[in-house]
Amino acid sequence: MVRSYRTGGTGQDGHVASTRRGAARQADPVRYDFDFAVLLDYWPDFLAGAWVTLQLTFLATVFGMAIGTLCAIGARGKRRWLARAIGIYVEIIRNTPFLIQIFFLYFGLASAGLRLPVFTAAVIAMVFNVAAYCSEIIRAGMDTVHPGQIEAAQSLGMSTPTIYWDVILRPAIERVYPALTGQFVLMMLSSSVASQISTEELTAVANNVQSFTFRSLETFLAIAPMYLALAALLKLSFWGIGLLAFPRRRRLGTAL
Amino acid sequence: MDIVFNWSYFGYLLYGAMWTLVLSACAFVLGGAAGFLVMLARTSQSRLIRQIALVYVEIIQGTPLLVLLFIAYFGLGVFGIEVPPLVAAAISLMINASAFLGEIWKGCVEAVPRTQREAAECLALTRWQAFVDVILPQAARIATPPTVGFMVQMLKNTSLASVVGFVELTRAAQVINNSTIQPFLVFGIAGTMYFVLCYPLTAWSRSLERTLNVGRR
């Protein structure tokens, strides 16, 4: 738990009141009085949860992007065994649920004697997950780079790292940028699954709050717009990053 | 005494896998029907309907499925209706799928060349006739690979139903792991089962994509 919950005052009152309402509810099943006001007390907790969600997303985006790019390079490389291994990794991740992956990692490592903090476990699971998707997307982008461009770069005497960075990767990522950012937004949303190993992100906070207030429907109705806001924030920042990273879009306003 | 994984546990996992398939089928049928409506709304002639549909899609696509699931589960429960977890899971998966499938199919309908619709208009077909007889058959062809791809997504998403206590594959694995405490083995087997269910669909989607692209290269 991020912070200790106030048990006195509103918490207790809320409890009693909601039990009473629960009794009334049974007598009259159709009427339900929405009470969002009790949730207001918990806004610092929601904020803390949203902050953890953002941290998870940021770390998973940065590391997932890095590993995904390396995997994409490896998957197109000359070493057959490496390409094969990356292919197997990508297929395994893409064809199993994230929930199973996170359980496998967290409970598996714990049973093997390595007790990871839940936050670290969630980040590792998310990185492994999103890197597989990234590598597929970036690979698709790299496939669109015309071989003639690479030959031209080679005949200009560019070194292999320069070719990879300037001729292959940057245009490739610019082309698939919308798909990549979409994937990262989806990943932010699926970080809610990390609540199942009790990482204290937004959904886990909601779970705690609803068990304190007995206002489960209101609590989850309240965090839906918070996720919408986070998604909007994420899209806005990716748009900004896109403008910074791809001068063509900024100066000419045209996509590649 | 230590309880170890044995064949009866494996049978329980298979039982869970069956419910995963049932839930996926429900979600696909319901979500497909709702998604079709969303697609119609997204391509409607009325600006208002288009915008309402867009807002709906944006809201659903910006909310985690887990949160939708909780809203469906507690939301129906609050009105005094005793909801079986299967119903809550099916409803939330349906809502989630309707937004994504609706958006995928809208793209596919718009990918059919404009001239096709214009030609249909010249033949004095009504808007609906043109849609059903001219646009839809062509859009369906374009839509098959992404739809199959999304089916994989839906199959994986059913794992979240375990959270509200619906015994499907993930829940079954959790239950077994709680008594055997062999997480690598139990979740490994469950993961393999998901893989066995999903991979054929992934491969199918990919081969469909390849055959569809032949004409364009």
Q: What are phi and psi for residue A201, nearest 5 degrees?
A: -95, -170
Strand residue runs (E) in chain B? none
Q: How far apart are CA A95 and CA A109, in angstroms?
A: 21
CB contact under 8 A, B173 and A103: yes
Residue A55: other Cβ atoms inside 10 A:
15
Sign of CA dihedral A106, A112, A116, A121: negative
Residues of chain A above pLDDT 70, percent: 87
Indicate whether B26 pLDDT > 70: yes
Asked if the structure places residue A12 within a domain, the reply is: no
Indicate whether A3 pLDDT > 70: no
Distances (CA, A) of B63 to A53, A189, A190, A247, B57: 13, 7, 9, 32, 10
pTM score over 0.90: no
Asked if the structure places residue A22 within a domain, the reply is: no
Chain A environment of B160 (Cβ under 8 Å): 97, 99, 193
Task: Please compute the mean of the pLDDT values over residues A101-107 and round it to a whole number.
Answer: 95
Mean residue pLDDT of chain A comes to 86
With an 8 Å Cβ cutoff, the interface of chain A facing chain B consists of 25-26, 29-30, 32, 91-92, 94-101, 103-104, 107-108, 110-112, 185, 189-193, 195-196, 203, 206, 210, 216-217, 220-221, 223-224, 227-228, 231-232
Q: Check if the beta carbon of residue A12 is closer than 8 Å to that of residue A38.
A: no
Residue A63: other Cβ atoms inside 10 A:
17
Q: What are phi and psi for residue A156, nearest 5 degrees?
A: -85, 0
Sketch out chain B's domains with CATH numbers: 7-216 (1.10.3720.10)
Coarse DSSP helix, strand, coil percentages of chain A, rounded to the nearest 5 percent: 80, 0, 20
For residue A203, give the chain B residue with the closest CA: B67
Closest to B146 (Cα-Cα) out of B194, B94, B97: B97
Q: How far apart are CA B62 and CA A182, in angstroms?
A: 11
Asked if the structure places residue A70 within a domain, the reply is: yes
Indicate whether A105 pLDDT > 50: yes
Chain A environment of B156 (Cβ under 8 Å): 95-98
What number is the ipTM of this complex? 0.91
Task: Please compute the mean of the pLDDT values over residues B144-167 and round it to a whole number.
Answer: 94
Block residue for tokens 């949303």 = A189
- Token digits of residue A209: 């709050």
3 state SS of A16? helix
Tell me the nearest-neighbour CA distance from B122 into chain A, angstroms: 36
List, for residues A209-223, the tens digit of each pLDDT value: 999 888 888 999 999
Give B4's contacts (C-beta < 8 A, 6+ positions apart).
B180, B182
Sign of CA dihedral A97, A192, A102, A127: positive
Asked if B177 reaches chain A (Cβ–Cβ under 8 Å), the answer is yes
Q: Check if the beta carbon of residue A38 is closer than 8 Å to that of residue A234.
A: no
* DSSP structural state of residue B114: H
List, for residues A14-23, the tens digit of each pLDDT value: 333 344 344 4
Q: Check if the beta carbon of residue B101 is closer than 8 Å to that of residue B32.
A: yes
For residue A34, give the chain B residue with the closest CA: B78
Asked if the structure places residue A25 within a domain, the reply is: no
Domain of residue A192 covers: 42-251
Tell me the nearest-neighbour CA distance from A162 into chain B, angstroms: 30
Asked if the structure places residue A84 within a domain, the reply is: yes
CB contact under 8 A, A108 and B198: no
The vertex-B14 CA angle with B13 and B17, nearest 5°, equals 90
Tell me the nearest-neighbour CA distance from B33 into chain A, angstroms: 23
List, for residues B65-78, the tens digit of each pLDDT value: 999 999 999 888 77
Task: Please compute the mean of the pLDDT values over residues A169-175 and round it to a whole number.
Answer: 92
Asked if the structure places residue A15 within a domain, the reply is: no
Binned at pLDDT 50, 70 and 90, residue A8 comes out as very low
CB contact under 8 A, B63 and A216: no
Residue in B23, B187, B193, B209 to test binding to A, most A beta-carbons within 10 Å: B187
CB contact under 8 A, A203 and B63: no
pLDDT greater at residue B217 or residue B134:
B134
Model pLDDT, residue B78: 75
Task: Please compute the mean of the pLDDT values over residues B113-130 and round it to a whole number.
Answer: 92
Asked if the structure places residue A171 within a domain, the reply is: yes
Indicate whether B216 pLDDT > 90: no
Number of structural domains in chain A: 1
b or e along A96-134 (b: 16 or more beta carbons within 10 Å of the residue's beta carbon)?
bbbbbbbbbbbbbbeeeeeebebbebbbbbbbbbbbbbb
Indicate whether A159 pLDDT > 50: yes
Residues of chain B above pLDDT 70, percent: 97
- Token digits of residue A187: 């990943």
Closest to B154 (Cα-Cα) out of B45, B10, B13, B32: B32
Residue in B20, B58, B60, B66 to test binding to A, most A beta-carbons within 10 Å: B66
* DSSP structural state of residue A145: S
Q: How far apart are CA B146 and CA B73, in angstroms?
A: 29
The vertex-A111 CA angle with B197 and A132, nearest 5°, equals 40
Binned at pLDDT 50, 70 and 90, residue A27 comes out as very low
List, for residues A222-238, the tens digit of each pLDDT value: 999 999 999 999 999 99
Which CATH number is A90's domain given?
A: 1.10.3720.10
Q: Check if the beta carbon of residue B19 is closer than 8 Å to that of residue B167.
A: yes
CB contact under 8 A, A100 and B173: yes
Indicate whether A29 pLDDT > 60: no
Q: How far apart are CA A90 and CA A70, in angstroms?
A: 13
Indicate whether A1 pLDDT > 60: no
CB contact under 8 A, A227 and B75: no
Binned at pLDDT 50, 70 and 90, residue A6 comes out as very low
Task: Please compute the mean of the pLDDT values over residues B198-211 and round it to a whole number.
Answer: 92
Asked if B199 reaches chain A (Cβ–Cβ under 8 Å), the answer is yes
Amino acid occupying residue A172: A
- Dihedral, CA of residue B161, residue B163, residue B169 and residue B175, to nearest 10: -150
Asked if the structure places residue A79 within a domain, the reply is: yes
List, for residues A56-103, the tens digit of each pLDDT value: 999 999 999 999 999 999 999 899 999 999 999 999 999 999 999 999
Q: Check if the beta carbon of residue B211 is closer than 8 Å to that of residue B145.
A: no
The number of angstroms, rounded, from the C-alpha of A208 to the middle of its chain's C-alpha atoms is 21
